[in-house]
Amino acid sequence: MTVGGTGDSIRIDRLLVFLRFARTRSAAQALIDTHALRRNRKHVLRGSEQARIGDVLTLALGSHVRVIELTSLPNRRGPPAEARSYYREVDGDSLDRKGQMTIAASPLATGTPPDDPEDRL
């Protein structure tokens, strides 16, 4: 973890472990390798990428997509309640649907019709 001023950051693979989204750094790397993780709307390509306070992470976990904003950086893997204190869930309704890139397969690719008629364009 880099320490000092506004430049505080942590490796994103360690962050996923500390926040309990992955049990190990290897499991965190597997999320990264399968493109199931985005930081500020961009795919994370390496576990060594740095995360900072204010970054928005989008994680595709199973059939759910979680969007979180980092409010502070952990320095260890603690209990679940402590891990949740380092981020806040971003309400999916407040996201700009047209500005977000999809993380899962699109409804057209899966054969199911989209919910929003504008998505068909």
Per-residue tokens: 71: 């409010």
Residue pLDDT, tens place only, 36-53:
999 999 999 999 999 999
Q: Is residue 11 part of a domain?
A: yes
- Structural domain including 18 reads 5-94
Nearest to 116 by CA among 17, 13, 108, 61: 108
Q: Which CATH number covers residue 79? A: 3.10.290.10
pLDDT at residue 91 in the model = 74
Q: Is residue 110 part of a domain?
A: no
Q: Is residue 26 part of a domain?
A: yes
Q: Is residue 25 part of a domain?
A: yes
What is the Cα–Cα distance from 114 to 33, expressed in whole angstroms? Answer: 27
- With beta carbons less than 8 A apart as the criterion, state whether 69 and 91 touch: no
Nearest to 83 by CA among 15, 32, 6: 15
Residue pLDDT, tens place only, 59-78:
998 888 999 999 999 999 99
Q: Is residue 100 part of a domain?
A: no
What residues are paired with 11 via a beta bridge?
Answer: 50
Number of folded domains that form the chain: 1
